[in-house]
Structure 1
Amino acid sequence: MQTETASRPRIWAVGISRLRDLFIDIAGAYADRAELDVVPLGYEDAANSIEGARDERPDVVVAGGSNGAYLKSRVSVPVVVISPTGFDVMHALTKARREGASVALVTHGDTPAEIRRFLAAYGIDMICESYRSAQDAESLVLDLRDRGVDVVVGPGLVADLAADAGMSSVFLYSRTSVVAAFETALEVAQAMRREVARRNRLDNLLQHLRDGVVAVDAGGRIEAINRRLATALGIADVSRAVGRALLDVAPELDGVLPVADGDVFGAVRGVSYAIHRGPLASDGAAGGTIFTFQESRAVERLDRTLRSRQGAQEFVARYRLEDVVGESESIERVRALVRRYAKSDATVLILGESGTGKEMVAQSMHRLSRRKDFPFVAMNCGAFPEALLESELFGYEEGAFTGARKGGKAGLIEAAHRGTLFLDEIGEMPPSLQSRLLRVLQEREVIRLGSTEPTRVDIRVIAATHRTLAEGVADGSFRADLFYRINILSVAVPPLRARSSDILPLATELLMQAARRDKALAQRVPGRDDAARLLAPLEQALCVYPWPGNVRELQNIVERIAVEIPDMDVDTGQPLALTLEDLLAIAPELSELRTDASADLSLRDLSRSVEADQVRATLAAFGGDRDAVCKALGISKTTLWRRLNAKR
């Protein structure tokens, strides 16, 4: 029942004497539509009662004559003043005529023009007077008595004064006019409640905005402000701030706010904001202004997020572990380490000669990790001058240096947020940048060039090098603390000469890749078996060559073969085949290493020799730590000793 009462409009009918009795008589008819209270007060007492009400404060007040006019200018709730209808006037005048010869019509305010026209049209001789206040009404009634008026027609106050003066009186208001006033009050109350509900929804929306917002009127007074901005400005009571001048409430905004519509940057209480000024619509009245305050760091975070999403397609790992071709023991060991290390977020150091596929290993590890749906950002630390490498890696703010892009630029470290940052050839990184990279690895935050505010980053770092970093530490070209920071997990990628059994499968795969790009080649080599059969006669020569350029060099040789195959003659009915002479014609650099069954160095001996080279390179990278080498290569100490002492 309380909920139903609370949902109904609250109307106070304020009146004394005869009007009060009429209110009481009518109030019962509105019991199911409104909470209607009859208040037997007038003027100042009524105003004090209305303004003093808190929980029971009325939505609308209904009052008559001078009482209504008085309340309208003194209370903060709408007041509906009862207006007599033309029928009320005619009915009251007719009744007054029957009671006396001399009749006076007394109204609050000026006598309506339509009443004067009505009296003139029908030749009715009647005195028309008006009053402004209760004192005026009392003086006016006494004057009418002295002038010989028999009957006074007027509102309740006038009728009571006339009766007290010994005159006849007729009450001007009818039941119809009071009902009309109540109906109007109901419409006003319902409209107000709809407006309050709308404002509450808007205020709720305002309070849930992530930015600070304040709306001011044309005079700079606060109309609305959300809690986020109020808190930032140190305003404890938002309700007390509404209606006051914004600069009085927050003097620190003086000189910070935009003077025209648009955006500016400013600091308030030590926090940087992007401040926007825009017009506040006001249905043709004097317009107000709305200010929004967005923290600069929030803008930067949003900007970086958008850039990272836009650049997501640029930073994608293309290779999978299945793309690492080979079945040798050494490459199977690499695959096992990639699968194991993909489960961790620890930094990985990939060791291996140029062209062995270190980035393919890094991308495979990323694709198997929990970060697979986020960027894989690769950078060659030896491919940029020092100044350019710093800006590319760490990013910069606008104006950080001559030629800096407007608005600044996020570096590759930020671009790798939530993903993987692959630093190839980290041994080539200048010492001055090594210390900055060390901080990124330790604190997981980056500071752009020209900025003082760090940006948090969530990245996994995979580094790669063909250099012996332990030697760099020894000669001072590589920081020891950075070496220990990146050398947490390590993978040693074997050179191609150390896995000769994988050379023919690799060459076959590379030839098939070329065939997928070249229709003419695909016609001569339609399938993998065809490619393997075509290259099989070259296996021994390919395995004896030491491949200083590793897989990259093998790819170059296969590309040459792919170019020649479509133009090669073939006997009718015979499958296409390559000879050793064909290979030497295509790749003359292999001629010095041509071998046959009488060669002093067997392929088995060569394989053992290059395995020993791999072990020695890994041992140097770990500064002679044999336990670490055994762990990285997945071999026992006995196997390590045997490979180190292999025939050369």
Structure 2
Amino acid sequence: MSTPLYEPPQRPRVWALSISRLRDLFFDIAGEYVERADVRIVSHAFEDAVREIEAAGAARPDVVLAGGSNGAYLKTRVSVPVVRINPTGYDVMHALARARREGARVALVTHGDTPDEVHRFAAAYALDVTFASYQSAQDAESVVLDLSDRGIDVVVGPGLVTDIAASAGMGAVFLYSRASVRAGFDTALEVAQATRRETVRRQRLDTLLQHLRDGVVALDAQGRVEVMNQRLASVLGIDAAKAAGRALHDLAPDLAGSLPDADGDSFCTVRGASYVVHRGPLASAGAAAGTVLTFQESRAVERLDRTLRARQRVQQFTARYRLDDIVGASASIERVRALVTRYARSDATVLILGESGTGKEMVAQSMHQLSARRDFAFVAINCGAFPEALLESELFGYEEGAFTGARKGGKAGLIEVAHRGTLFLDEIGEMPLPLQSRLLRVLQEREVVRLGSTEPMRVDIRVVAATHRALTDSVAAGSFRADLYYRLNILSIALPPLRERPNDLLPLAAELLRQAAARERRLAARVPDAATAARMLEGLGAALRRYAWPGNVRELQNVIERIAVELADSDADTDASAALVTRDMLRAIAPEIVEPIASAKPAALTLRERSRHIEADEIRAVLAVHDGDRDAACAALGISKTTLWRKLNSGR
């Protein structure tokens, strides 16, 4: 029978077992520990105590406290820690002194051999004491009765011995004191807490193993299973709970010969599936005491490889240019910078207008870098660089089997890749009409459907488009959808051609020369910065400003690259006079700059004409926002209907 003193479930469970006088001390002292442990006094010993502990199941104690032969018996028969109560030297001395007062002949009976210090103590104080010991309960009774026959008056010993002595009519002095029982309880609590910490640690490790996607088994030095997660047990077709203590080769004979002999990787086949097996040491106290094997399915490795490759591709879609990379101090460039900064705070679609080579993608990247989407992908695609069928699959992606040659597993389109980032559609005017309809739906509904699929996928993207064409002419000619144009032209930025900002030519050329020199090892020391490059090019200012630059910045960059190659191949040292770029050098490498062909100069719009076009485009964008309501558009713009009509017609 057991007597619960209190039941806090989170506290260590301590069972104190005794059927002798020790039980009374347990009751007296257990109350001192009610705040620290769940203490139960169990009136069982030996085999009855074993059955009581095993029957408790999940409620079994964390530690058992017992004395003498009962404690020794339980230590070898239960799976929980057992703490034995040991009498102190003071207990023995005090008990012997009391026994001498009660009888002339005294015997000290202990479980097991009597400690040497007790013999030395009796000899030192000339105590006439008979020493005896026992190994079991039956043995204790024989020892006590033999002492009675030998004329012993008083027996000193643990509860079992004193109970037998009292029954035999002898004097009996209980050996244990309250101090020794308290010491036993303290030790039991320390053991219980340590056991619980170890149990929690093992449970966490087991939980970790069970949540691993790979199969894992830990083996001891003899190849026996210490722990195996359910993932591997399912692969091998065995019960993980019954695998502990058994040799792995007995549990899975098919693995014989296919596991790695040393630390490293190998391949094996289990029940028709291929696995990558990694072997590593299982360390204990700094030395290898076993082996850890992990089983990873080959198909999972392949899927992971594909995922990593796809992620690396996504990471390649990054913006390199920032607003500071746009060189120039002209009023038109300052206006571009101001618009980029303002539009970066919005998610509205932007249409960038400008001749070829004016830096449309640089502006788009700068806007992305300033926006809240800067940490996500910047995906750029040239709509004029792909055939229609290829452009469709690149933009929208496709499902497996969508067409002949489609990649296994399908492919995400660039619209999907740009999710949460920016999609830059360069040369949008070159997009075929059928794809314009699909793009319009993406802009309106913010969802994309892969080729061969019927399931739309939501996307969160900002679209920036660019063109060198007059899209209004394409709309009038029927080659560009008017509804797509109005959807794209919500915000617009017009980039000035290089010929309209002549004062920016020399600073821009100097920066391009600095960049070219940084890529050329032979030139890097001679052109350390843009200021040095500007000094080297200052004699070309007039020639650069006279040229029309039909290719704009891209053409200027080509010329500067030629100059960089010429400087790198020359024998000029770092002396400033020797490093200057002369008009003759420019004539030799780019004669079209110094002596341009008159007919090559394109007819350029005046600044007033360009402003009218930009104003007209912005008015059309406002009209599109208000669904063609001119009154609402005039109110939003702060102009009259007459002014609106006049500006629309002057911008054609």
TM-score (norm 2): 0.56
Q: Percent identity?
A: 45
1:513 matched to which residue of 2? 511
Q: What amino acid is aligned across from residue 642 of structure 1 in structure 2?
A: S
1:190 matched to which residue of 2? 190
Q: What amino acid is aligned across from residue 526 of structure 1 in structure 2?
A: R
Q: What amino acid is aligned across from residue 361 of structure 2 in structure 1?
A: E
Structure 1 residue 157 and structure 2 residue 163: aligned?
A: no
The answer on whether the counterparts of 2:166 and 2:172 sit within 8 Å (CA) in structure 1 is no
Q: Residues of 2 paired with 1:327 and 1:485: CA distance?
A: 28
1:592 matched to which residue of 2? 598
Q: Residues of 2 paired with 1:464 and 1:80: CA distance?
A: 83
Report the 3-state secondary structure (helix = DSSP H, G, I; strand = E; otherwise coil) of the residue aligned with 2:554: helix
Structure 1 residue 62 and structure 2 residue 70: aligned?
A: no
The answer on whether the counterparts of 2:616 and 2:647 sit within 8 Å (CA) in structure 1 is no
1:638 matched to which residue of 2? 646
Inter-CA distance 473–243: structure 2 relative to 1 (3 Å threshold): farther
2:82 matched to which residue of 1? 79
1:489 matched to which residue of 2? 490
Structure 1 residue 323 and structure 2 residue 324: aligned?
A: no
1:495-533 deviations in Å (ceiling 9; x for gaps): 63xx96x242243333433565586997796399x67xx
Report the 3-state secondary structure (helix = DSSP H, G, I; strand = E; otherwise coil) of the residue aligned with 1:463: strand
Structure 1 residue 366 and structure 2 residue 368: aligned?
A: yes
The answer on whether the counterparts of 2:344 and 2:370 sit within 8 Å (CA) in structure 1 is yes
The answer on whether the counterparts of 1:59 and 1:189 sit within 8 Å (CA) in structure 2 is no
Report the 3-state secondary structure (helix = DSSP H, G, I; strand = E; otherwise coil) of the residue aligned with 1:590: coil
The answer on whether the counterparts of 1:150 and 1:168 sit within 8 Å (CA) in structure 2 is no
Q: Residues of 1 paired with 2:10 and 2:533: CA distance?
A: 87
Q: Residues of 2 paired with 1:221 and 1:427: CA distance?
A: 68
Inter-CA distance 125–407: structure 2 relative to 1 (3 Å threshold): farther
2:640 matched to which residue of 1? none
1:464 equivalent among 460, 463, 466: 466
1:103-252 to structure 2, matched below 5 A, reads 130=134, 132-133=136-137, 140=142, 150-151=151-152, 155-164=158-167, 166-168=168-170, 170=172, 174-175=175-176, 179=179, 182-183=182-183, 185-197=185-197, 200=200
The answer on whether the counterparts of 2:330 and 2:503 sit within 8 Å (CA) in structure 1 is yes
Q: Residues of 1 paired with 2:457 and 2:282: CA distance?
A: 36
2:606 matched to which residue of 1? 607
Report the 3-state secondary structure (helix = DSSP H, G, I; strand = E; otherwise coil) of the residue aligned with 1:464: strand
1:526 matched to which residue of 2? 535
Gaps of at least 5 residues in structure 2 are 1-7, 121-127, 245-251, 268-274, 518-522, 572-576, 638-642
Number of aligned positions between the proteins = 561
Q: Deviation of residue 184 (structure 1)?
A: 5.2
Q: Deviation of residue 307 (structure 1)?
A: 4.6
Inter-CA distance 525–159: structure 2 relative to 1 (3 Å threshold): closer
Q: Deviation of residue 487 (structure 1)?
A: 1.8
Report the 3-state secondary structure (helix = DSSP H, G, I; strand = E; otherwise coil) of the residue aligned with 1:526: helix
Report the 3-state secondary structure (helix = DSSP H, G, I; strand = E; otherwise coil) of the residue aligned with 1:587: helix
Structure 1 residue 378 and structure 2 residue 380: aligned?
A: yes
1:121 matched to which residue of 2? none
1:354 matched to which residue of 2? 356
1:437-476 deviations in Å (ceiling 9; x for gaps): 7787655679899x99999865423222335668989999
Q: Deviation of residue 78 (structure 1)?
A: 2.8
Q: Deviation of residue 608 (structure 1)?
A: 8.2
Q: Residues of 2 paired with 1:485 and 1:198: CA distance?
A: 69
Inter-CA distance 113–512: structure 2 relative to 1 (3 Å threshold): closer
The answer on whether the counterparts of 2:609 and 2:651 sit within 8 Å (CA) in structure 1 is no
Q: Residues of 1 paired with 2:371 and 2:211: CA distance?
A: 36
Q: Residues of 1 paired with 2:266 and 2:391: CA distance?
A: 32
Q: What amino acid is aligned across from residue 175 of structure 2 in structure 1?
A: S
The answer on whether the counterparts of 1:16 and 1:42 sit within 8 Å (CA) in structure 2 is yes
Q: Deviation of residue 358 (structure 1)?
A: 1.6
Q: Deviation of residue 359 (structure 1)?
A: 1.5
1:15 matched to which residue of 2? 18
Inter-CA distance 259–126: structure 2 relative to 1 (3 Å threshold): same
Inter-CA distance 458–142: structure 2 relative to 1 (3 Å threshold): same
The answer on whether the counterparts of 1:320 and 1:360 sit within 8 Å (CA) in structure 2 is no
TM-score (norm 1): 0.56
Q: Deviation of residue 390 (structure 1)?
A: 8.3
Q: Residues of 1 paired with 2:593 and 2:440: CA distance?
A: 45
1:324-343 to structure 2, matched below 5 A, reads 326-327=330-331, 337-343=339-345
1:528-554 deviations in Å (ceiling 9; x for gaps): 9x67xx645886x54xx5x54344345
Inter-CA distance 66–324: structure 2 relative to 1 (3 Å threshold): same
Q: Deviation of residue 345 (structure 1)?
A: 1.3
Q: Residues of 1 paired with 2:74 and 2:451: CA distance?
A: 65
The answer on whether the counterparts of 1:468 and 1:617 sit within 8 Å (CA) in structure 2 is no
Deviates more, 1:358-367 or 1:382-391: 382-391
The answer on whether the counterparts of 1:446 and 1:456 sit within 8 Å (CA) in structure 2 is no
Q: Residues of 2 paired with 1:337 and 1:210: CA distance?
A: 56
The answer on whether the counterparts of 1:413 and 1:446 sit within 8 Å (CA) in structure 2 is no
Report the 3-state secondary structure (helix = DSSP H, G, I; strand = E; otherwise coil) of the residue aligned with 1:354: coil
Deviates more, 1:190-199 or 1:26-35: 26-35
1:224-279 deviations in Å (ceiling 9; x for gaps): 99xxx9xxx9xxxxxxx997879xxxxxxx9xx999899999xxxxxxx9999977
Q: What amino acid is aligned across from residue 319 of structure 2 in structure 1?
A: F
Inter-CA distance 11–481: structure 2 relative to 1 (3 Å threshold): farther
The answer on whether the counterparts of 2:19 and 2:44 sit within 8 Å (CA) in structure 1 is yes
